[in-house]
Amino acid sequence: MKRIVLLRHGESTWNRENRFTGWTDVDLTEKGVAEALAAGDTLAAEGFVFEKAYTSYLKRAVKTLNCVLDRLDEDWIPVEKNWRLNEKHYGALQGLDKRETARRYGEEQVLLWRRSYDTAPAPLDEDDPRNPRFDVRYDRVPNRELPLTESLRDTINRIMPYWQRVIFPNLETADSLLVVAHGNSLRGIIKHLKHIPDDEIVRLNLPTAVPYVFEFDDDFRLSRDYFLGDPQRIRERMEAVAAQGTKG
């Protein structure tokens, strides 16, 4: 049996403030660190051992991964960071309060921006200081590949080459891999693995720092997927994520 564990980062400062974050590089809150450490404890209790881990360029994911590996006593394993695992880019929405945006534009429109497959927010201007081309960490990424906004479809198109050419092929030599990333970048991977239709992906909300396990048979076909943890608590955390885009 082969396994890949997908893990959304712990609560960030802008999760707490209910802001659209995207590629903005915000830190974990104290609660987020605690969530990440708890995820590591859960994985350790279930006997998980990883041969390699992957994460994005954003510190909330990197720090979550570090916490998990510390709890697993696996700080030494190879870790690969790649910008393709970054969160969906929210364009001009980045930094805005989700509830205030819902009051202004309506909950239905905000739901489309947050969760739909093919609706992207308004893009950043080319000279906007939030444009990733001004960030040193993306200096080696061709400017044409750096987004100014993204739909989930755009995010999937960004992630899939890395997933298909780098992460998934490593199951040939490793039994367990860990991917720590973001709500929407992971939704894209899950959509691919579970063949979720475009119009149904809107209902998938990932809670912070809850390990999501995908098991594969000897032919690398998905055989089982499940969250680790108390089902009722996980459901409540999913509902809280879904409520972030309502008027309140």
| Catalytic center residues | 9, 87
Q: Which of 137, 179, 173, 105 is nearest to 23 (CA)?
A: 137
Q: What is the C-alpha separation between 64 and 66, in angstroms, rounded?
A: 5
Distance in angstroms (rounded) separating the CA atoms of residues 209 and 32: 8
Q: How far, in Å, CA of 51 to CA of 74, rounded?
A: 9
Amino acid symbol at 197: P
List the structure tokens of 67. Answer: 């916490």
Residues 6 or more apart from 208 whose CB is under 8 A from it? Answer: 8, 9, 10, 11, 15, 32, 35, 237, 241
Measured distance CA(75)–CA(82) in Å, rounded = 18
Amino acid of residue 74: E
3-state secondary structure of 6: strand
